Amino acid sequence: MKKLLDYIEPGDTVVVWRIDRLGRSLIDVLNTVNLFRERGVQLRSVSDGIDPATTSGRLMLNMLATLAEYERELIVERVNAGIAAARKGGTRFGRPLSDPVVIADKLRIVTEARAKGRTAEEAARLVGWSRATLYRHQKALAARESTM
């Protein structure tokens, strides 16, 4: 959209498949249409047949944009309901939990490498971690040991 806005000039015509493709919400669509009008750019919709230059075209534009926003909100609601149902059914989202035994082994390897003079970043890379991941696991280990 940014490239389009930089490219268009007064007298140009922007052709879209559907008018709702101009934005994610009613406000986005209307702002884009108004921006085009202010710049002297015509707008044509292939499948909707809407001409925002006319009064009836603007009415149709507002109605279609409102319906498109409503449709998107319904989709979001359905997706969220599906996620909630999956969580209720026991599905766990996100990265899988790391095996504590594997983490302990990797921490041992890193500790030995550090004792031999390697930097934290070099030692972390030996086990496939970033330095931040190393520090996070070391902090978690220290917290567990302090509660024992």
- Give the start-to-end residue ranges of the domains of the chain: 2-88, 100-147
Residue 1 has pLDDT above 80, yes or no: yes
> Whole-structure pTM over 0.75, yes or no?
no
Instruction: Write the pLDDT tens digit of every residue in 97-115.
Output: 788 899 999 999 999 999 9
pLDDT confidence of residue 62: 81
Tokens of 99: 């095996």
Residues comprising the chain, all counted: 148
- Quote the CA–CA distance of 138 and 104 in Å, as a whole number: 10
Instruction: Write the pLDDT tens digit of every residue in 57-99.
Output: 888 888 877 887 888 899 999 999 999 999 999 998 988 878 8
- Quote the CA–CA distance of 137 and 28 in Å, as a whole number: 44
Domain covering 2-88, topology: Rossmann fold (3.40.50)
Q: Pick from 99, 25, 84: which is nearest to 107 by CA?
A: 99
Q: Pick from 144, 146, 147, 141: which is nearest to 111 by CA?
A: 141
Give strand ranges (E) for 81-131: none
